[in-house]
């Protein structure tokens, strides 16, 4: 019973779709962020659910760790192979299996990326809205319960995965959920797998909710004298029931970063960027009513547009915020943070975080999905400088503690991975042990992504 | 170790809030539908989470079954005490603990009913939308993953429970979720408890999402020459992105029932009843565009109104559909069915069901939440007539099989309880065993609502 024996057997199963080459191991052993590399012992490229099931059965028999791999875009090192074993790369399982246009759902394989899916959907009048920024795989997005700019309107992966097929730790293949829009038949195994970060099963098929491409889109941007004015405008907008498709907050440092990076001329103030989806009449009315609320909260420079090129420029800028932020300090890396609080506490959370950063030697633009109460600070560091890294991690820890103190969560959308395991007990208390009990029941030999999510040792 | 010892200890804990009187046992031992009574050995009325935890600890030590009790409005006998033990009646835990208006959430105790909650919310401009018809308790609605007429817009209990406090089978108290709108911190224990029908834990506190009371509401009703025309109009409306708050289908037998019951003059045809929520301009536009779609699908008699009295009349009629249906056959009872299919298969599912009923000696109006693909047949029976009951159960079984064949689920919103346990293997396959493994991990002595949800014996 050993990893070596497992790899010999897997080689027979997969032929040259199992690799032990150094470049392949390195490519599947690093993360996008600051965690030390942890390569697997081999990389597998299965092509069918049956192959994944066979692979897991072999690994279960040999107690060989199994770690899923999507696009490698996780910011928390979810797919690092802490105990070696096999990285299961889903890039050869990347097909759209069935578009059900009338039902507004689609069945896909886990290795498909969200951008590929939306290209395939273009002619149908439908789209898949969850947008974490990176062109992640849909399997990875489900496994980490990803969200992004559109969650305020369309929800997160929790809301948009209707059903899955998954391979469990003993190689059993299960189907969870159906294509029906709702069901009351027992434990919600779909919701249990979504966000389980590969520790309970490998998702081999997903049925996703789709949404109609909006007939019209309008977008607006405006500046506020203070963070609390901006946040209060958002609260008022939500309470008025104006259906925002996106509402993003950027602080004055972010505005400065945009100006430097893209040659724009935003005042150095907090801004909101908002988008409305609907019929032409509805989005015009939404924008008009939003403008009134903005005025109530001392907003200025309110500009709205339903021209595609203006919107594209706006959201390109927002999507480039990471690079714009990095450009504030040439050569720097970023430690990316991610907390989410009840929206009534958001202004306080952002202001405390900004004061913390101001009092530190680091720069750190703040921006976030303000409709959800979720925000990030991009802490700019020289990764080779231990003192700077320590300071960034200290600021990040203080953000996590702040989120818990304000009734929120230590990660709104990036997941636990390597970076947030240390806060699980503080956030969940005895609930974290319940997670461990579920993990033990479904993966008694701890072969699925070991070292992650549940209490260790 | 016995139920008797448990009751002695519970009597010390709760005093006269533990009852063994026959009327109390009977009141907590029956269901709204045709399942035989199964009274508990005692009824407990705890007042705090701590008391519930103490109660469960005693019952765990003595291996005494514990069954939660809300308003007793379940249609599937969820709360029948199949193995005796203690019914935990939450009627003394019925307070609103905290309204967080800015965050649009509320913290409540499980014994509060949805109508009581909405009365408490009236002055806030907010409301809790999930509406299963009955004035159920919010704890019961969460435990059974209830939904109803507004799910098409506002979602089910799955979507509207943000967080819980629950007592597990060993008396541990956990908190799941936070007041943040989203989180990626591990297994979604909130989603696991919602719909678990009291088999994994007793929910002692819920944090619920609230929604803004709509500024304007418009409602419309219209007739169609066929079920498929009505359903295709709904599909087109959804695909156009018109945000319906409710969209209900009633068949020609239901229309006849309304006419007889309420003196209305609906043509004996399938009808849609729809409601829009939003700004005055938006709901007017929604109604206008819906009218165009109705015309495309041969709809007739399209009437819309934004007058409160017209809307109230419409929805009162819809809410009275159960009684109107019963009145088709004076003295009859109803066997209520509940399946949910992908909407593209809905016309087929309804038409097959109608043909089945037409070929049987029973009458059965059909109506449903057509935006979700969820519908019910009210099969009118004389409960004392075994042949009629057998026929109703045969029709119900054929509906469940039909739902599975068409890619749907055997219960959209009523839950498993006693009535749907026999279909769990067919719907979930090996996933049903996974539910059993989770149940064993969290309730190894099977004291929480034993005999329900998971494979037995």
* A91 Cα to chain B: minimum distance (Å): 24
Q: Measure Cα distances from A394 to A360, B205, B359, B453 in Å.
A: 10, 34, 72, 46
Q: In the listed set B168, B187, B212, which residue is the last one of a domain according to the structure?
A: B212
Q: What does the pLDDT read at residue A222?
A: 94
Tell which of B125, B158, B185 to mutate to test the A interface (max A CBs under 10 Å): B185
Q: In the listed set B212, B246, B266, which residue is the last one of a domain according to the structure?
A: B212
Q: Let me know if residue B71 belongs to a domain.
A: no
> ipTM of the predicted structure?
0.97
**Contacts A424 to B, Cβ<8 Å:** 185-186
Q: Let me know if residue A439 belongs to a domain.
A: no
- Average the pLDDT over each of A66-70, A286-290, A409-413, B435-439 and give the range with the smallest value: A286-290
In tens, the pLDDT along B55-72 reads 999 999 999 999 999 999
Q: How far apart are CA B414 and CA B146, in angstroms?
A: 7
Q: Cα angle at A270 between A264 and A275, to 5 degrees?
A: 75
Q: What does the pLDDT read at residue B111?
A: 98
Q: Which two tokens stand for residue A113?
A: 């990326």
Q: HSE-up of A113 (CA within 13 Å, CB side)?
A: 13
| Mean pLDDT within B234-260 | 91
Say what angle helices A3-14 and A49-62 make with each other, to 10 degrees. Answer: 160
For residue B158, give the CATH number of its domain.
3.30.465.10
Is there a single domain that holds both residue A293 and residue A348? no
Q: How far apart are CA A395 and CA A337, in angstroms?
A: 9
In tens, the pLDDT along A165-177 reads 999 999 999 999 9
Q: Cα angle at A391 between A331 and A456, to 5 degrees?
A: 110
Strand order in the sheet with A86-89: A18-19, A42-44, A86-89, A66-69
Q: In the listed set B383, B405, B427, which residue is the last one of a domain according to the structure?
A: B405
Is there a single domain that holds both residue B206 and residue B276? no
Q: Measure Cα distances from B312 to A103, A233, B86, B218 in Å.
A: 31, 34, 41, 11
Nearest to B201 by CA among B445, B442, B18: B442
Nearest to A93 by CA among A54, A48, A53: A48
Q: How far apart are CA A431 and CA A455, in angstroms?
A: 11
Dihedrals phi, psi of A220, to nearest 5 degrees: -145, 155
Q: What does the pLDDT read at residue A76?
A: 95
Q: Let me know if residue A345 belongs to a domain.
A: yes
Q: What does the pLDDT read at residue B309?
A: 86
Is there a single domain that holds both residue B230 and residue B360? yes
CB A420 within 8 A of CB A358: no
Q: How far apart are CA A193 and CA A211, in angstroms?
A: 23
| Mean pLDDT within A263-284 | 90
Q: Which two tokens stand for residue A27?
A: 């490519």
Nearest to A217 by CA among A300, A123, A120, A314: A314
With 0-12 / 13-18 / 19 or more C-beta atoms within 10 angstroms meaning exposed / middle / buried, residue B316 is: exposed
- Percentage of residues in chain A with pLDDT exceeding 90? 88
Helix/strand/coil for B417: coil
Q: Is the pLDDT of residue B306 over 90?
A: no
CA A98 to chain centroid, in Å, comes to 25
Q: Measure Cα distances from B170 to A430, B194, B202, B434 in Å.
A: 12, 19, 11, 21
| Mean pLDDT within A36-53 | 98
Average pLDDT value over all residues in chain B: 95
Nearest to B71 by CA among B42, B31, B98, B24: B31
Q: Let me know if residue B413 belongs to a domain.
A: no
For residue A28, give the CATH number of its domain.
3.30.43.10
Q: How far apart are CA B427 and CA B423, in angstroms?
A: 6
| Mean pLDDT within A230-256 | 92
**CB-CB: which of A102, A191, A415 is closest to B184?**
A415
- The answer to whether the CB atoms of A192 and B195 lie below 8 A apart is no
Q: Let me know if residue A440 belongs to a domain.
A: no
User: Who's near B8: CB < 8 A, 6+ residues apart?
Assistant: none
Query: What is the band of A269 on the pLDDT scale with cuts at 50, 70, 90?
Result: very high
Is there a single domain that holds both residue B204 and residue B283? no
Q: Let me know if residue A284 belongs to a domain.
A: yes
Query: What is the band of A310 on the pLDDT scale with cuts at 50, 70, 90?
Result: confident
Pairing of strands A66-69, A86-89: parallel
Query: What residue spans of B28-156 are helical by DSSP H?
Result: 49-62, 114-121, 138-143, 151-154
3-state helix, strand, coil in chain A (%, to 5): 40, 20, 35
Query: What is the band of B312 on the pLDDT scale with cuts at 50, 70, 90?
Result: confident
For residue A364, give the CATH number of its domain.
3.30.70.2740
Higher pLDDT, A313 or A132: A132
Nearest to A181 by CA among B156, B431, B194, B245: B156
User: Who's near B380: CB < 8 A, 6+ residues apart?
Assistant: B325, B326, B328, B329, B332, B333, B334, B362, B363, B364
CB A101 within 8 A of CB A111: no
Q: HSE-up of B116 (CA within 13 Å, CB side)?
A: 16
**What total of structural domains would you count in chain B?**
2
Is there a single domain that holds both residue B363 and residue B241? yes
For residue B236, give the CATH number of its domain.
3.40.462.10
Q: Measure Cα distances from B332 to B35, B59, B142, B321, B358 in Å.
A: 16, 41, 31, 14, 18
Average pLDDT value over all residues in chain A: 95
Q: Which two tokens stand for residue B370?
A: 């057509």
In tens, the pLDDT along B164-214 reads 999 999 999 999 999 999 999 999 999 999 999 999 999 999 999 999 999
* B9 Cα to chain A: minimum distance (Å): 26
Q: Is the pLDDT of residue B457 over 80?
A: no
Answer yes or no: pTM beyond 0.90: yes
Tell which of B168, B182, B292 to mutate to test the A interface (max A CBs under 10 Å): B182
User: Who's near B258: CB < 8 A, 6+ residues apart?
Assistant: B250, B264, B266, B317, B321, B324
CB B453 within 8 A of CB B197: yes
| Mean pLDDT within B11-40 | 96
Q: Is the pLDDT of residue B396 over 80?
A: yes
Query: What is the band of A373 on the pLDDT scale with cuts at 50, 70, 90?
Result: very high
> Across B76-215, where does the E strand assignment appear?
86-89, 96-100, 105-108, 126-127, 161-168, 173-176, 201-209, 211-212
Is there a single domain that holds both residue A87 and residue A98? no
Is there a single domain that holds both residue B191 and residue B248? no
Is there a single domain that holds both residue A86 and residue A101? no
Q: Is the pLDDT of residue B440 over 80?
A: yes
Query: What is the band of B32 on the pLDDT scale with cuts at 50, 70, 90?
Result: confident
Is there a single domain that holds both residue B333 and residue B375? yes
Is there a single domain that holds both residue B388 and residue B307? yes
Range of the domain at A334: 329-422
Q: Let me know if residue A136 belongs to a domain.
A: yes
Is there a single domain that holds both residue B198 and residue B285? no
**Contacts A239 to B, Cβ<8 Å:** 101-102, 104, 125, 212
* A196 Cα to chain B: minimum distance (Å): 6
Can you say whether residue A453 is alpha, beta or left, with left for phi > 0 and alpha for psi between -120 and 50 degrees? left
Q: Is the pLDDT of residue A201 over 80?
A: yes
Q: Measure Cα distances from A442 to A170, A288, B437 in Å.
A: 8, 52, 7
Q: Let me know if residue B23 belongs to a domain.
A: no
Interface contacts A/B by beta carbons within 8 Å: 295
**Contacts A408 to B, Cβ<8 Å:** 178-180
Q: How far apart are CA B232 and CA B173, in angstroms?
A: 48
| Mean pLDDT within B210-221 | 92
Strand partners, A123: none
- The answer to whether the CB atoms of B372 and A411 lie below 8 A apart is no
- The answer to whether the CB atoms of A427 and B178 lie below 8 A apart is yes
Is there a single domain that holds both residue B343 and residue B392? yes
Q: Is the pLDDT of residue A38 over 90?
A: yes
Q: How far apart are CA A330 and CA A164, in angstroms?
A: 43
């Amino acid at each position: 019973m050993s990893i070596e024996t497992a790899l010999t057997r897997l080689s027979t199963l997969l032929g040259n779709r199992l690799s032990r080459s150094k470049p392949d191991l390195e490519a599947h052993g690093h993360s996008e962020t600051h965690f030390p590399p942890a390569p697997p012992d081999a990389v597998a490229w299965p092509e069918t659910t049956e192959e994944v099931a066979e692979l897991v059965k072999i690994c279960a028999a040999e107690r060989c760790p199994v770690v899923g791999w999507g696009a490698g875009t996780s910011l928390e090192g979810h797919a690092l192979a802490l105990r070696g074993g096999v990285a299961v790369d889903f890039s050869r399982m990347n097909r759209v299996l069935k578009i059900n246009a009338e039902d507004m759902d689609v069945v896909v394989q886990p290795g498909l990326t969200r951008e590929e899916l939306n290209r395939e959907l273009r002619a149908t009048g439908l789209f898949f809205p969850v947008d974490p920024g990176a062109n992640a795989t849909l399997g990875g997005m489900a496994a980490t319960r990803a969200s992004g700019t559109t969650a305020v309107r369309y929800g997160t992966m929790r809301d948009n995965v209707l059903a899955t097929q998954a391979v469990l730790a003993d190689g059993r293949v299960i189907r969870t959920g159906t294509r029906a829009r709702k069901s009351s038949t027992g434990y919600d195994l779909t919701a249990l797998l979504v966000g389980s970060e590969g520790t309970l099963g490998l998702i081999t098929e997903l049925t996703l909710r789709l949404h109609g491409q909006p007939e019209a889109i309008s977008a607006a941007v405006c500046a506020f004298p203070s963070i609390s004015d901006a946040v209060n405008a958002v609260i008022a907008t939500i309470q008025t029931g104006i259906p925002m498709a996106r509402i993003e907050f950027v602080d004055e440092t972010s505005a400065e970063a945009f100006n430097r990076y893209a040659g724009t001329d935003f005042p150095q103030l907090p801004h909101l960027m908002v988008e409305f989806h609907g019929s032409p009449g509805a989005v015009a009315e939404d924008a008009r009513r939003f403008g009134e609320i903005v005025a109530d909260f001392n907003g200025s420079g309110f500009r709205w547009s339903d021209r595609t090129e203006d919107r594209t420029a706006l959201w390109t800028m927002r999507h480039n915020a990471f690079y714009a932020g990095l450009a504030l300090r040439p050569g720097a890396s970023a430690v990316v943070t991610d907390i989410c609080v009840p929206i009534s506490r958001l202004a306080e959370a952002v202001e405390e975080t900004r004061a913390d950063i101001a009092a530190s030697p680091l720069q750190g633009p703040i921006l976030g999905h303000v409709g959800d109460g979720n925000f990030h600070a991009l802490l700019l560091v020289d990764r080779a400088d231990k003192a700077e890294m320590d300071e960034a991690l200290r600021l990040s820890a203080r953000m996590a503690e702040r989120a818990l103190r304000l009734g929120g969560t230590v990660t709104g959308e990036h997941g636990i991975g390597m970076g947030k395991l240390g806060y699980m007990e503080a956030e969940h208390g005895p609930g974290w042990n319940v997670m461990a009990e579920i993990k033990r029941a479904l993966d008694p030999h701890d072969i699925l992504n070991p070292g992650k999510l549940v209490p260790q040792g």
